[in-house]
Structure 1
């Protein structure tokens, strides 16, 4: 009996030794399958002559399952440019109601004291709202405007010599006219038509020899509201930011409302009841901000979020801190988030964090509403000339471009019906942006065809 037990034990041990390699191979196979990545896509990117010489980060995730189907450098930080507007959108979704706060005010006998919430739509050329204008025109009380502490006119890390261009207006608590002057020129006329007309006396034909290295139509003096117009034989339209100040705001408001407005300090009393005038539906602002990548609207969106945290100050940094502490703690990598628009090169985000934000948005916003806000391939916004298909859009996204950086994040519907959230980031390239864009379209079209 003892001999039998010894033989049986030896046989079982031998069988376990023989089975071990097969079991180990099975575990390795399972592990390899779980980390598999499409080899063809790896080759498309790694062997691309266009993408080879700069930093590339890619992340593709199945929206339905949350499974990462491909990634390259997805845990590395990149300069995101205007894809940061998706963070501003997410802040608006959590801090603003369905309509924008146009202004705060209190009533004191025969006086109305009002101050700004950051709402950018008053007399704006693209997303105009007349609600605040009508309100102030029709009030019987005397009007007093209070300036409140606000984020600086320019964000941290913005390029100083872009002050002259439409995409970098100054931020402010109570914007009017989008903080820009619009010029409408006709061939043969010495000076263009100006909106608002208030700035017409501040415009003049550029003197001979006035520097114009960028071939601008209009050049504003760096620190003052004087505009030089360069002669042209063609019709043109241009938009140039103006320098903001409380005194200029009061002049513009009085010129528009045709009634006096006096400056006042904001000192709230215990008996004051602070009221908020509501304005434009938030979707109108989100749609414009995301489709055409409007920097000014994105910056002002953060300031409006700040107005929901405090009645008497507007701090975009406070909003950023609140969002990171309360709503963005589960992101894979903490973003370095410094402004609302992505104009700053101090912003840093990883591709997988942008995809995680896209998944959050898709979970919290009905898909038709979300896709309507975004640029759509072949249809609208910054993607209207690319990713075309006569059958309809298959890619919806947000572009982000600074010199030597071009990124695209969004949603891609494959021909098999799969919806993917993706980020495709290109930093430090010296090729033309159009070349990078075409190569990205080639790669993402392959993703659509083969996944």
Structure 2
């Protein structure tokens, strides 16, 4: 945590790695200091040096496709008939898909050798299917390309007004740029940044604030939840709203306990001090409760309702919910922390989501030394770097983190942070950089929670192959969970896939998917994508995915000398991932319906 002294200038020229003809749209808070721009995050403008490796020439494959760093081609193009081992693998996988859950729904499967692009197995490889959280593979790859591994989200504490004898004559503004990680998952505590902000205020002699504490989330625009998300899931943590200012992953826990007979039950929030719209119609009764106490909310933008009865001595009722107004939620807890740290606040918590209401719309963000100006920067909190965020995206399958990155892609490349702009940016990356065919591709969000997303198994294999040749490939693969690991992909224990297969899971209603890479028994890396739609049981579908993954790990065929990829390939399988991020287990499943 440091006070921020804005640079006098910066280089906003397009990076050499960016596609020709594209212009970087810099993320800026405002104009200030003789017209100099204050960048929100330098890595958004100055990406890691070095060019992306050019894609190798591809060979056409009717019915399969021909894009990506390797040519995806049938075995027959090698000049020899498929080996007995490949034919056996084909029959074994057909058998897996011909029994049990493999016979239900619609399946698309593709397995391709990473050595020479041989298609080892294909079934409906070009079918456009809902990918669920496999979508996060696309978002992760694009974020590494557009933002770079050094990218961090900054969150600003700003003051509006002059300081006289330790009294800030105006508002305190908490301005976010989309950081989803101000929570205990990656930090010592969710409140740690707020306590750092309080210390920064005290160090600058501020002990009283006459105005409000304003949470400003206007850096992101558009709907905070995608219209196609399941309406029955919007209270759950995995459907938290996307905001320019997020805190505690935009969820709160309510604790309802009995009060005196005839009184409304007591409502406590965890974290404490959170301001929430509540409609408490519950009742504490002395006798047996005739109606159980319930916490209800049909629409996430409506007040949280408390209904029913509770008697003294009865156990408390607990419920974790998404918050409807993330900026006000964050501001209310910041106000409480400031008071605990000895700073008096005379105003109230206020949330801003509309850019036209933001104090930064036509203001200047100035260095603390220039306090005679109306708006100045007190301190800046920087999020963990992108590799740590991607570990949460892919190992915990966290939708808020994925969609915050999607919005940021939209802001960087199109000047607007929204689902629509982010979807356009992601589509551009997949078609222009990876070389994916736009047919069969439809991007609605970055998390995969929308049931209207569409992609092909072929497309996922193309992205996986592309990332193996990418300079950031080691970070990408290091973010994926590993089979047989209780802290990662908690499946395929005590099999040849355990400690070997790395893949992203995917689950929404009647959809299951698994895409990644596995090394065969002979040491041959294999890319695979397994997608199942309209299945009656996602649990049964995952058992089919596991059987396919284990069969690929057990596969073996003779390979010529020097045919395995070298260890110097930037993202090659088996390469060490320096500083691979670790995400602590939180007891949650990989995906949620």
TM range (shorter): 0.7 to 0.9
1:152 aligns with 2:203: no
CA–CA distance in structure 2, aligned partners of residues 94 and 127 of structure 1: 23
CA–CA distance in structure 2, aligned partners of residues 278 and 158 of structure 1: 30
> How far did residue 225 of structure 1 move?
3.9
> How far did residue 120 of structure 1 move?
1.2
Alignment correspondent of 2:510: 404
Alignment correspondent of 2:338: 257
Alignment correspondent of 2:573: none
Q: As a proportion of its length, which structure holds more helix? A: 1
CA RMSD of aligned residues (A): 3.9
- For the Cα contact (< 8 Å) 2:175–2:217, is it kept in 1? yes
Distance 1:350 1:224, change over 3 A: same
CA–CA distance in structure 2, aligned partners of residues 182 and 50 of structure 1: 37
Alignment correspondent of 1:393: 499
In structure 2, stretches of 5+ residues that fail to align are 1-74, 163-169, 258-264, 284-288, 340-344, 353-357, 368-375, 557-593
Alignment correspondent of 2:541: 436
SS at match of 1:297: helix
CA–CA distance in structure 2, aligned partners of residues 58 and 180 of structure 1: 36
> How far did residue 344 of structure 1 move?
0.4
Alignment correspondent of 1:318: 421
For residues 99-151 of structure 1, give each alpha carbon's deviation from its aligned partner in whole angstroms, at most 9, with x where no partner exists: 421225778884876632110122x2423366753553214477765452513
For residues 68-97 of structure 1, give each alpha carbon's deviation from its aligned partner in whole angstroms, at most 9, with x where no partner exists: 222110111001011111122122212334
Q: Which has the higher contact order (CA 8 A, sep 6+)?
A: 1
CA–CA distance in structure 1, aligned partners of residues 254 and 492 of structure 2: 30
Q: How does 1:42-61 map to 2 (within 5 A)?
A: 42-61=93-112
> How far did residue 385 of structure 1 move?
3.5
Alignment correspondent of 1:178: 249
SS at match of 2:236: coil
> How far did residue 157 of structure 1 move?
0.8
CA–CA distance in structure 2, aligned partners of residues 147 and 405 of structure 1: 33
> How far did residue 322 of structure 1 move?
2.6
Alignment correspondent of 1:133: 194
CA–CA distance in structure 2, aligned partners of residues 391 and 444 of structure 1: 7
CA–CA distance in structure 1, aligned partners of residues 483 and 519 of structure 2: 11
Q: How does 1:101-250 map to 2 (within 5 A)?
A: 101-103=153-155, 110=162, 115-122=175-182, 124-128=183-187, 132-134=193-195, 136-137=197-198, 138-139=200-201, 140=204, 146-148=216-218, 150-182=221-253, 194-199=269-274, 202=278, 219-220=296-297, 222=299, 223-226=301-304, 228=306, 239-244=320-325, 246-250=327-331
SS at match of 1:280: coil
- For the Cα contact (< 8 Å) 2:510–2:533, is it kept in 1? yes
- For the Cα contact (< 8 Å) 1:413–1:419, is it kept in 2? yes
> How far did residue 442 of structure 1 move?
1.9
Bigger radius of gyration among the two: 1
**TM-score normalized with structure 1 length:** 0.77
Distance 1:84 1:30, change over 3 A: closer
> How far did residue 269 of structure 1 move?
5.3
Alignment correspondent of 2:531: 425
**TM-score normalized with structure 2 length:** 0.60
Distance 1:182 1:99, change over 3 A: farther
